[in-house]
Structure 1
Amino acid sequence: MTTRCQGALNPRRVEMTAPLDGILGQSAVLQELLDELALLAETQLPVLLLGETGVGKELFARRLHRLSQRGNKPLVQVNCAALPEALAESELFGHVKGAFSGATHDRAGRFDAANGGTLFLDEVGELPLSIQAKLLRTLENGEIQRLGADRPLHVDVRIIAATNRHLPDRVRDGLFRADLYHRLSVYPLPIPALRERGEDVLLLARHFAELNRERLGLHDLQLSPAAQQALLEYAWPGNVRELEHVISRAALKQLSRGEPRSSVIRLEPHALGLDTAAVAVERAMPASSIEAFQPLAVAVDECQRWNIRHALEHCAGNWASAARLLGVDASNLHKLARRLKLK
């Protein structure tokens, strides 16, 4: 598709063709990442995509697969966080008839489906320990054993894994196998957060504005200069996914206020609904004054309080979702919140 990039001060339309994999951006950090992906695509190495929630790890996995020699073979995605432990083995490796109550026929698993292609293990840090051991064996010898089967089957699968967690911490806490971590992280590849990508924020915002213009049947949908500045100053804890939701919500808000679809609808900062408190605090602090400093422990606590509050607001008070957004266990988040007197 093509997107009409436009700003309120300059309505001149510039055609921008969205790539097949949906990755948009012109920042140096993104271009370096795409170059690295192209080189990785020439290899068969397992790749571990690292990054915060919402950075688009799935899109980068799809690009890596598409550019590889396996690009015309299946890419099978597994959301490891959504796999019930009781069914995880059958889902990944398959089962034979009679393996358990209700197994009325042989069933292939995700590894079978990805044979010859790529298996994308999203949120791999959430895999149950019992399944981690079986996954490790498959990575070591290229064989799977269906639940209830007598003999293993050979599979030819490239593994791309992704996580928003710090896996060494999971290893330390006994929640992730160290040997599996080293197998998966042969080539760890960090995906930059949106706040590290400079004016890619505006490029993406205009793209999402155009998508909403088409979806809502609007004549024109623009971002005012003030709105663009607000987007650049915001920290984007939810990254590209959050930006998409912000633009969609703002477009609907403006339309609900009675603006005709045939008019030029201009999004202003108040319609974006961004939490600008952190920006205001940062601007209010003296740049080079000794009074601006405070004990490091106090500064860390304040930063943690702000991030927890913001994550909870973003997740409508859902502690489990906030924990995932912050990359910590929910139980540890509750403990930290109590220590910080947030509970």
Structure 2
Amino acid sequence: MNNTARDTKVSQQTNTHPLEELSKILDADMKAVNAMIIARMDSPVKLIPQLATYLIAAGGKRVRPLLTLAATSMYEGEMQRAHRLATAVEFIHSATLLHDDVVDESEERRGQEAANLVFGNQASVLVGDFLFSRAFQLMTEDGNLEILRILSTASAVIAQGEVLQLSTAGNINTTMDDYIEVIKAKTAALFAAACEVGPVIASSDETAAKAMANYGLYLGIAFQIADDILDYMADREKLGKTVGDDFRESKMTAPVLLALAKADDKERAFWERVITKKEQNDGDLEQAQAIFEKHGTYDETLKLAHHYGDLAIKALDDAPDGPLKTQMIALVQYSINRES
């Protein structure tokens, strides 16, 4: 590991906000992406931009398009192409959010009512389909078959991950390997693709593209593990969505799996009731949180996130040194320790 990576090892604390720093470094590029997002989600069917704007303008971290811009700039690729592909990445992500909220019957997203509650399930699904289609238009406009392969494969893998998660929901025999496969697919695949296209735009060698894909993959896994912790312990206003959604939906996430591994008979009966049978009563979420506290589950889950965070940082060992690399390393720490 070189000095830059060693000095900012994921297990250390950082006082910077890497997303803000990346946004400053890539300010002109991010403005171009935001302008393209607005332009390309337009449609003569007014409900489409209305609903899409409702979701996209509500905020969001823009992590994935920032990663595409950072990876392209780091390898000195053509930034106009990166603008188009970063927009495609954000559209893919937004489409999956719209579809997820319908599947999960979510009530809140980004601090406001979920789009499916405001506009209805049908409109949310169809506008999600529109955003997927726009993403593929942007990919074909770029004209690079390798990039089309990377992003189209990621889109298919995301869908597979959502189906896999459906099949594991409520199954307390789900293994940690099963869980990691789910989050690799539903979250980390797009992180990996967003990063991998950067060196491809720059016509860098396959080693660079693979390294960036690995960085995105491991960052995405760490990011999702942290997200699964937040679902149980975050402040609702900071999180921007309802705390305990995973619990209510009987999702088998890392905190539940780790608590199950240490459960006594009484606790296992509790998990079978609330997860397998979906018989949930007032106070059950608080009981789950108490079980996590008893077994040190939060710390154990964070340790797992740090493991993947360290792998993400190692993937950057041979990446060009500079401010972008420094902030991409810091982003790993931020992703694990964030409060929303």
TM-score of the aligned structures, taking structure 1 as reference length = 0.25
Q: Which has the bigger relative contact order, CA under 8 A and spacing at least 6?
A: 2
Structure (1 or 2) with the greater strand fraction: 1
Structure 1 or 2, whichever has the larger Rg, is 1
